[in-house]
Amino acid sequence: MRKQVIAYLHTHWDREWYREFEIFRMRLLRVFDNVLEMLAKNKIPCFYFDGQVSALEDYLAMRPEREELVISLIRHKRLFIGPFYCLVDEFLTDQTCFRKNLEIGLKTAQKYGCKDFIGYLADTFGHSQNIVDVLRDFGIDKCMVWRGVNDFPSEFSWCGMDTINLVRGYFNDIFSLKTSIEKKAEILKSNLDKIAEKSGNVLLLPIGADHLGVETDIKDQIEAVNEILKNDYFIRLGSPFDYFKRVENRFKDFVWNDELRDNSKTFTLQGCYSSRLDLKRENIECTYLLDLASRFVKQQKDNSYNTILEYTYKMLLQNQAHDSICGCSTDDVHAENKIRYKKIKQIANTIIDELKFKNHFEEKRILNLSGEAYSGIIEFKTSRIIEGYDRIGFENGFDRYLLTDTQRIPVTEDYTKINTYLADVENLKPDEIEYIMPAINKSDLKITETRIENSNISLRIENGQIFINGIKFSLYDFADLGDSYNFGPQKDDYGTELHIIRSKPILKTASRVTLKIDFEGRWDVIPLFVSLDKNASHLHFRFDWINSQKNHLLQAVFNLSNPIREVFSEDMNILIKRNFNPEYDIRQNLPENRGIEVKNNTAPMQRGLLIDEEGNNLGIITKGLTQYEVFQNKLFLPILRSTGQISNPQNPARTTPAGPPIEVESLQQIGRNTAEFYVFFGNHNAFKDVLNHVYNYIVV
């Protein structure tokens, strides 16, 4: 029986990737000019604009005279946009930002008259199970995915949502190939045969690819192909919405209630979660800081900042587009990312300073915006010398209160020392404002040349080895033959353990102590600063070093008592459980056949993880370390991954390129690097407590 094929015209639009934003926007003008002309002249019935609105905004900023035509086409259901502002990575974007992505995207799409939406996730590198509930909260009841899907049918129920599996992916440039129509029909039939194996009597065929325009004779080509394939398939142009209606009874036949990260059929490019960790650190910091500013605005009921916040969230979301935050673009793209991050921090900090100034938020006052009572040590800055508080450092600058006052300007004489102090906070209620008090409890801290501890947790150095409450901690260095997309292991390289060459206390106060431990790397000395606050249940680890070595992976390693079989890690601000085979060895399973990406025991996380199984207990909260790995009884935490190409054709972990082989020097992460995380022990409640301490939403 001849099967019906609904083909939808689209283009997948990465704002930036192997070329920079402005260059791609110039291309966008040509691509979308042509699309609008073809729609206006009825040469094509409709066009699906990649499930986002940022590309349309980028276009209209340069072609404002086309807005009326765009609105008309959208309202007549011939041009589909949204629901997202842009296509963010699902594992590196927290739930607050993912909701903002939908909030801003839907607001914009609806402004132009769009009413029909699909959770269109055609190229993100795997899919979080938690996004389905978020989509539902915004009234979206259907979804389309590709990467991370195993051998599933074309239609399935994913966590209760009708979902389309793009069996052959979104990338289909067959009609743009410079070859005969007979050859195109042959290639199309091969693809349609594979889609048909997973479909019913109606098939879905994307026509489009990355930054690709629509062929001006597309209808004629389809007519010619239909004649050649007349015994098997009939292709007609339509939209994904047409397809959902035709197959509405098939979704219930296959059910999947977990995340989508399988790489047996598609590349999920898991090395992205440890590429350019400097970007991941900036992303986490900006996500937290902008959320803090937003909470302060909401608490003060000051709507004058709403437009500013949306403008700033747009910048953050632009940086969370998957080719940006995943670190797999050109050096110039990522230099622009860093400028955006700087702007986000500038705006967020200024909002906080202005609200403090407007509301006469006096020095030494503190406000808790976290929604949970807070107890612990906090840092605060002042240009004054204050007795009774532990002073831990200073910097030169102008007092921020002075800088915020529009009736005053700073002069040279106002340039002074800005001191950093520690203070105790005990049971500060949500939305409560109190005065910061000096230390109120006796200190339980102890520190020596080889030991740091309080009444809850300890770290000791014994015979050149570090132990945290009995768990061995070490640093390992591995060769990395990979690229921005995948770690490329050497088959027999199980790493070199770095040795401790010295340790000494560098901070001793009643509220906090710090031990500096120097590791000897292959080329570099790598200092580790371990800090502990009084009464705290967690140790703070901070590496700060100059990397001069290329093509390597540096990992913090925790040796637990037993093989690790399950890990809870944060995903969309929710702890999810992942199961692992602790005996799986990536180095002994490197692929030989084309088109295969090696299975691995790595996984993404947002701000932390927890191992709490029989015989094993360990918790980690990080500031921008977004990947972990399990092997036997060891947990690996990458603190630096240094490679030099967007896609290395010789990557042993992947037998087919994932992108262009462009050399990108800054991907080597040469120069200063930092890595920061917190170690604790306990259950889910302990995870929540430490997370709320590290990301504390305190205004001071």
66 vs 671: CA distance, rounded Å? 47
Cβ–Cβ < 8 Å for 623, 560: no
Query: Which whole number is the average pLDDT over 101-110?
Result: 99
Query: Between the CA of residue 279 and those of 333, 491, 665, what are the distances in Å?
Result: 12, 29, 15
Give 550-600 pLDDT, tens digit per residue: 999 999 999 999 999 999 999 999 999 999 999 999 999 999 888 899 999
Q: Tens digits of per-residue pLDDT, 414-433?
A: 999 999 999 999 899 999 88
DSSP character for 461? Answer: E
User: Over 80: is that where the pLDDT of 438 sits?
Assistant: no
Q: Which domains does the chain have, with CATH numbers?
A: 3-255 (3.20.110.10), 446-699 (2.70.98.30)
Output the pLDDT for position 440.
Answer: 67
What mean pLDDT, rounded, does the chain reach?
Answer: 96
Q: What pLDDT band is residue 436 in, cutting at 50, 70 and 90?
A: confident
Cα distance between residue 88 and residue 100, in whole Å: 11
Strands (E), 436-581: 446-447, 451-453, 458-462, 465-468, 471-479, 496-497, 499-508, 512-520, 525-533, 538-547, 552-559, 566-571, 574-579
pLDDT in tens, 198-239: 999 999 999 999 999 999 999 999 999 999 999 999 999 999
- For residues 138 and 106, the answer to whether their CB atoms sit within 8 Å is yes
Which 3 state secondary structure label does DSSP give 582? coil
Each residue's pLDDT tens digit, 106-152 = 999 999 999 999 999 999 999 999 999 999 999 999 999 999 999 99
436, 380 contact by CB (below 8 A)? yes
What was the pLDDT predicted at 432? 87
CB neighbours of 104 closer than 8 A, spacing ≥ 6? 53, 85, 310, 313, 314, 317
Query: Integer distance in angstroms from the first to the last C-alpha of the chain?
Result: 71
CB 327 within 8 A of CB 272: yes
Token output for 345:
């921090």
Q: In sequence order, what DSSP letters do the residues of 294-346 get, joined into one string?
A: HHHHHHHT-GGGHHHHHHHHHHHHHHHBHHHHTT-S-HHHHHHHHHHHHHHHH
- Please count the other Cβ atoms lying within 10 Å of the Cβ belonging to residue 498: 19
Distance, CA of 3 to CA of 226 (rounded, Å): 11
Both tokens of 364, joined, read 């030494």
Which residues sit opposite 496 in a β-bridge?
A: 477
Name residue, tokens 């406000």: 367
What mean pLDDT is predicted for residues 665-676? 98
Angle between helices 306-320 and 95-111 (to 10 degrees): 110
Under the banding of pLDDT at 50, 70 and 90, the label for residue 350 is very high
- For strands 390-397 and 47-48, give the pairing: unpaired
**Beta-carbon count within 10 A of 567 CB:** 23
Helices 277-300/95-111 angle, 10° precision: 70
In the β-sheet with 155-158, what is the strand arrangement from edge to edge?
119-121, 142-145, 161-165, 155-158, 255-256
- Comparing 363 with 205, the larger pLDDT belongs to 205
Segment holding 188, helix H or strand E:
helix 181-197
Region 436-452: mean pLDDT is: 88
Least confident of 276-280, 386-390, 420-424, 479-483: 386-390
678 neighbors 620 (Cβ within 8 angstroms): yes
Amino acid at 444: D
Instruction: Tally the C-alpha atoms within 13 A of residue 667's C-alpha that lie toward its C-beta.
Output: 34
**What's the confidence (pLDDT) of residue 592?**
87
Contacting residues for 226 by C-beta, under 8 A, at least 6 apart: 233, 234, 235
Helix, strand, coil: what percent of the chain each, to 5? 30, 30, 40
Segment 60-75, tens digit of pLDDT:
999 999 999 999 999 9
pLDDT in tens, 8-35: 999 999 999 999 999 999 999 999 999 9
Instruction: Evaluate whether 154 touches 165 at the Cβ level (below 8 Å).
Output: yes
**180, 195 contact by CB (below 8 A):** no
- Choose among 257, 259, 367, 271: nearest CA to 326: 271
